[in-house]
Amino acid sequence: MCGICCVVTLPSQHTVHHSFNADMHCCLRRRGPDSSQQLIKTASDLSYKCLFSGHVLHLRGVLTPQPLEDANNSIFLWNGEIFNGLPVGDTENDTEVIFHHLELCSNEADILSLFSLLRGPWSFIYYQASKHSLWFGRDYFGRRSLLWQFSDKIDGAFCLTSVSVYSESGNQYQEVPASGIFKIDLKAWATTKSLSLTFFPWTYSCSEKTAEEIFINVLDQVSKDLPNHIPLVMNESKLCLRAPVIPLNKTISEASDECASTNISDITPMASVETLQEFLAKGHRKKLVHQFIDVLNEAVKRRVLLLFRNEERETREVQSLSHGKAHVAVLFSGGVDSMVIAALADRHVPLEEPIDLLNVAFMMKEQAKQKGTTKKHTNQKIRLDLHSCPESCKETDAKTGGHLSCFDVPDRITGRAGLKELEALNPSRIWNFVEINVTLEELKEMRQQHINHLIYPLDTVLDDSIGCAIWFASRGEGSISKQGEMKPYKSPAKVVLTGIGADEQLAGYSRHRVCFKKYGLEGLNKELEMELGRISSRNLGRDDRIIGDHGKEARFPFLDEDVVSFLNSLPISEKADLTLPRGIGEKLILRLVAKELGLQASAVLPKRAVQFGSRIAKLESNSEKASDTCSRLKLLSVDEL
């Protein structure tokens, strides 16, 4: 994982360093703490100048500083992982592998064919010196951040970067759309003083007609955020990238309708593990569940094993308290998504390595605590192992000795219960349940110092809540239980697994139930297709910037191309049944996977979004809507910092 940046200027402008300042360098350096270097290229005959800045987090193969430059003066910046599609040896670095393949490309079609092969998260910047072309883009799902900034002047500077700093006086950044790959002809720009973007879209079928249709559909969406003087044009050859996943199966059969209503009257009004067992008794259903386990298991395997492991190498992290050092962590709430990921990771992470379970809680207000203590769960048939609740009142903070009951938020309670399930599955594994407690004062301080710049250019209340929760969780600073005592701990894991993508594909959100009630299965299919289509701009760029700020890499098993293709191949009735109660109907196939893996109570936990489970949504304001612009994300200009 890396921080990458490119600034292109013409002679009439300020120097490249006007756009690339110390604050941006610092933000990029946090993403890639293992190597940092810059390279400036000047095309004197064409009067343009390019600055390339690369900051590397070493995760695979030999440490390879960026930017890379070949004998033809072409330059490559890569922020990604090749998990499949292109051979990468165990000792090879994927940055060097893909750059070598780019050197062999003789035309645009070759470059597009290469990127169409890749499986895994990526963003890249490629300067093709012989043709004065600047290529850049993000993977199909947009799992890696890339922002662009255009000057408001026709001959102004152009900037690409993994993460930016905000300036009230400057031109604002936007996320590069994950709808395709872009190219800028620097020779034409320097000659005409007019910058234009050539676009190569993702498509399931690379026919000329399909490419034109996609371009028309995407044109308005992409162009609306571009300055008026920056045209977006389809490439002349109508070339496109082949999508790495198959289209969504929108089939709605009579069998689906029958399945959706079968034995509804016989199912208890509340979720239960027994209900899942009834589903698994059906041979067809159980076969699909095991197929899903196989493909998801491979996705997790790739993400926990393709990782540099060398205990002798000097590291900057705080060493763990256990007999081994954790290399892999899971953003962990105890819900079904994170529990399944943790259980599958346990199959492949070497047994001598702990697995860090990162569980974040924001201090509850006194009023919220009192309300929470009076709310009983007598109507729930699920009975979690909550004996940790009274124990938590006895636990004390390792530093202050104060009670931690104010951090007994819902995700902490379900997280502790989930820990016990995982310990029962594999008692030989050291599971570091990292309790990350955040006070209002620390939240405000870290938001202003770091988090607001990472969430930017997004700006809603929802972005603030989720962004802050993920930042503190992925930082991994908290405490773990060691021999009955809570000890300070900082996770040294460079890889952070997250369950994002499960809800979007398996109808996990409450809005999916609303949609289903209004528009039925057909409407639900359209909603899920839209969810996956917008996940790059809604979630993934932000989460990559947030997690990468700690010198860690986010990995998304549920967005593995094979996993998405498998789920896309199934009709909606095999993935979810929203006629069933919460805790069963949403993400039904994943709950069945959890049951087959040996999980119990966590398999039937209803979905609870991180902003509510961690209680950050209630910490500062109860009157805001998720879609409101968040006043707390108001950023200071660079000059004020």
**Per-10-residue mean pLDDT for the chain, 641 residues long?**
92 63 90 95 85 95 94 96 93 94 95 97 97 97 96 79 77 90 94 90 76 74 82 87 95 62 44 88 94 98 90 40 80 97 97 97 68 42 36 42 72 96 97 96 94 92 94 97 92 97 96 95 96 93 97 98 98 95 95 96 90 83 82 59 35
Intra-chain end-to-end CA distance of the chain, in Å: 27
Residue 369, class by beta-carbon neighbours within 10 Å (0-12 exposed, 13-18 middle, 19+ buried)?
Answer: middle
- Beta-sheet strands, E only, within 12-112: 35-43, 48-56, 68-69, 75-80
pLDDT score for 544: 97
d(C-alpha 78, C-alpha 100), whole Å:
13
- Distances in whole angstroms, Cα of residue 170 to Cα of each of 28, 167, 253, 566: 19, 5, 54, 45
What is the C-alpha to C-alpha distance for residues 454 and 442, in angstroms, rounded to an integer? 17
What's the CA gap between 84 and 243, in Å, rounded? 14
Catalytic machinery residues: 2
Q: Which pLDDT score is estimated for 471?
A: 97
Whole-number pLDDT of residue 205:
76
- Euclidean distance between CA atoms 399 and 486, whole angstroms: 9
The domain defined by 254-309+325-640 folds into Rossmann fold (3.40.50)
CATH of 2-242, one of 3.60.20.10, 3.60.21.10, 3.30.470.20, 3.40.50.12590: 3.60.20.10
Where does 290-398 show beta strands of DSSP type E? 328-331, 355-362
Total-model pTM? 0.90
CATH 3.40.50.620 domain range(s) in the chain: 254-309+325-640
Contact 320, 294 (CB under 8 A): no
Residue type, 567: L
- Which amino acid would we find at residue 272? S
For residue 447, report the phi and psi dihedrals to the nearest 5 degrees.
-60, -45
* Helix, strand, coil abundance in the chain, percent, nearest 5: 40, 20, 40
- The number of C-alpha atoms within 13 Å of 39 and in the hemisphere containing its C-beta is 17
Q: How far apart are CA 205 and CA 192, in angstroms?
A: 35
Would you say 179 and 219 are in contact if contact means Cβ atoms under 8 Å apart?
A: no
Residue 94, marked binder: yes
Residue 264 DSSP label: G
Residue 520 exposure: Cα atoms within 13 Å on the Cβ side: 8
Dihedral pair phi/psi, residue 246, rounded to 5°: -85, 160
Question: Is residue 247 reached through a cis peptide bond, with omega within 30 degrees of 0 on the bond before it?
Answer: no
Tally Cβ neighbours within 10 Å of residue 634: 12
Helix (H, G, I), strand (E, B) or coil at 407: helix
Pairing mode, strands 133-138 and 431-438: unpaired
The neighbour count for residue 536, using CB atoms within 10 Å, is 24
Place of tokens 């993994």: 162
Residues of the chain within CATH 3.60.20.10 domain(s) are 2-242
